[in-house]
Amino acid sequence: MDRNSIIGLVLIGALIFGYSVYMQPSPEELKAQQQRKDSTEQVQRAANAAAPATAPKAADTLGAVADSGMVMTDSARIIVEKEKWGEFYAAASGTDSLITLENPNVKITLSSKGGIMKSVILKEYKTWDGRPVELMGTDSSEFNLTFSAGNRIINTANLYFNTTKTNNAVSLKAYAGEGKYLEYLYTLPADGYLVNFNIKTVGLNDVIAANATYLNLDWKNQLVRQEKSLENERTASTVYYRFADEEVDYLSETSDEKESLKTKVKWISFKQHFFNIALIADQSFDSPVVETYTNKESTTSVKTMTASLALPFNHQQDQNYGMRFYLGPNHYQTLKSIDELGLEKLIPLGWGIFGWVNRFLVIPTFNYLNSFNWSYGIIILLLTILVRIVILPFTFGSFKSQAKMKVLQPEMQELNEKYGDDPMKKQQETMNLYRKAGVNPLGGCIPGLLQLPVMIAMFRFFPSSIELRQQQFLWAHDLSTYDSILDLPFNIPFYGDHVSLFTLLMTVSTLIYTKMNMQMTAATNPSMKWMMYLMPIMFLGFFNSYSAGLSYYYFLSNVFGFGQQYIFKAFTNEEEIHRKIQENKKKPVKKSSFQQRLEQMAKERGANSPKKR
């Protein structure tokens, strides 16, 4: 190993060490994690202690009464319930009643058993097969607190809450004696998708175990299929979360994952393709654990998502935990308007420059065109024209460079024949030819690279745009998913079980566009040409199940590309280009210091190479 290798290894080691030190949790975070662990262990110990002491006694009492044929008196039942539920015995029995909160956007059904949202329906949207969009179903969601009370484990899922509705608010209380209760308060504004949610403990400081420092909040939801393509919906669904430092992250979209977050988070979202349920803390959640699970055998379930949260309990007389639910669509402006929480980052617009293009160029232009209430097919057409106008200078620059390379093609062919056995000499003479002619061999590539951010931005924008959801255009019934003109009775590997016409049009137009560009370039490498034609065919299988709006946009872009090519050709005189190149050759060429060094290195390498005998 030389000195540079050693220095490199030392620097890499220092970076790894520094990163590990930086990522270590702070003493406060370690303390919070330990307290939560202790609270969980304490709850488990209480459960183990309660099992042999209380549950068998209650079972024995009930069994004895049943065997004797006697009817249990109210006093006997109270004794049994007190033995099992402690102070919460009055809330352990009751009748499940439903109560509704509703505004023009959302309808929420609450259940007195467990105090949970039993159903959430978005009134403005339908599923792909015409059903109401239900974000929470009767049997698909859980939302409950667990904590220890004496030697008993209390799970609010088993408690019956007393309900009181006042205008747009519902209070649900589970009593643990006179003046002691656990309250859930739901408040739905007159419009919108935000629901204020408060958990309040009153007088439970001497009911909950003295060594309990946290209340454990377990949240689970099985996301139900809403879209035509279940596979696409699954790959767009996962758990998102925002840390206290405003960084937004998420679990894997393509595989099941479980993550124990080592710091505080501001919100957690169970995100579906076009909808999401987010729980937003007024303060923060301490070190939550989030997980996703996919039942691949199911044709109705997208994913099951869970979050285990810890609410600090300080044994005060009254404690309040303020939160909000967002229950609505993944609409960029709607999410962005919510208190600058970064919820708009749920929409995958692309990272870096691709996301900037979408946020500051594509979305504002799309929204402006959308304000005229035109068909989305027309809006995409106009958007394509505007994008083509914006990138016109780059397109023309690429065409011009290709035209110059085409004019030089005969001379380059002569160099290939003359120096075919000496690659180094051929390269030197080729570069001399470019320099004398005033031609940049990368001139056709650079404009193409400058167009790449727009192309990739569109690739992210169309499949994520809820505006295109269930919008019909021509034969496509939904521009947010694939169009199908023929459903196949079998599945073709890497293609699918249907035929998308927009994808076929995009592929054919891309092949024609590629052929036109190949005719304009000086490329003679057969393998390169073969690859250029193969790529559109490979993408045929991928786009066949993708957004019809995206394939339609790429098809239109290719069509306008044809038109631009013909216009450029009409105003391009190859003889004039050739004349200017010949004039450039006669001018003295000033070499840069960099070019001089390259030529000197090439000469030295040629001088040191073994000579042929």
User: What CATH number is attached to the domain comprising 292?
Assistant: 2.70.98
DSSP class of residue 361? I
The answer to the question of residue 212 being in a domain is: yes
CA distances, 414 to each of 6, 201, 580 (Å): 49, 88, 20
Pick out the chain residues at pLDDT < 50: 43, 47, 49-70, 522-524, 612-613
Q: What is the total residue count of the chain?
A: 613
Query: Same domain for 257 and 188?
Result: yes
Query: Same domain for 251 and 164?
Result: yes
Q: Where are the alpha helices (DSSP H) in 521-590?
A: 526-543, 548-570, 574-586
Distance (Å, whole) CA 544 – CA 546:
6
Q: Which pLDDT score, from 0 to 100, does residue 411 have? A: 74
Query: Same domain for 364 and 436?
Result: yes
The answer to the question of residue 593 being in a domain is: no
Domain boundary among 319, 347, 375: 347
Q: Are strands 169-175 and 162-166 parallel, antiparallel or unpaired?
A: antiparallel
Query: Same domain for 302 and 422?
Result: no
**Domain encompassing residue 450:** 355-485+547-581
User: Is 458 buried (19+), middle (13-18) or exposed (0-12) by CB count in 10 A?
Assistant: buried
Q: Which pLDDT score, from 0 to 100, does residue 84 have? A: 74
Distance (Å, whole) CA 348 – CA 344:
9
The answer to the question of residue 502 being in a domain is: no
- Is residue 430 within 8 A of residue 412, CB to CB? The reply is yes
3-state helix, strand, coil in the chain (%, to 5): 45, 25, 30
Query: Same domain for 399 and 366?
Result: yes
Task: Give the rounded distance of the alpha carbon of 219 from its chain centre.
Answer: 20
Residue type for position 549: G
Query: Same domain for 364 and 272?
Result: no
Query: Same domain for 332 and 226?
Result: yes
Q: Which pLDDT score, from 0 to 100, does residue 502 have? A: 95
Q: Which pLDDT score, from 0 to 100, does residue 430 have? A: 72
Query: Same domain for 438 and 570?
Result: yes
The answer to the question of residue 120 being in a domain is: no
The answer to the question of residue 432 being in a domain is: yes
Query: Same domain for 150 and 270?
Result: yes
Instruction: Measure the CA angle with vertex 115, ends 295 and 41; round to 5°.
Output: 70
Q: Which pLDDT score, from 0 to 100, does residue 145 have? A: 93
Against a cut of 0.85, is the pTM above it? no
The answer to the question of residue 29 being in a domain is: no
Q: Which pLDDT score, from 0 to 100, does residue 56 have? A: 39
Domain boundary among 290, 312, 347: 347
Domain boundary among 347, 376, 406: 347
> Which residues lie below 8 Å from residue 133, measured CB to CB, with a gap of 6+?
121, 122, 125, 126, 127, 226, 275
Query: Same domain for 381 and 433?
Result: yes
What total of structural domains would you count in the chain? 2
Q: Which pLDDT score, from 0 to 100, does residue 403 have? A: 74
The answer to the question of residue 178 being in a domain is: yes
Query: Same domain for 149 and 180?
Result: yes
Query: Same domain for 343 and 361?
Result: no
Give me the residue label for tokens 């404009």: 447
Q: Which pLDDT score, from 0 to 100, does residue 429 have? A: 72
The answer to the question of residue 391 being in a domain is: yes
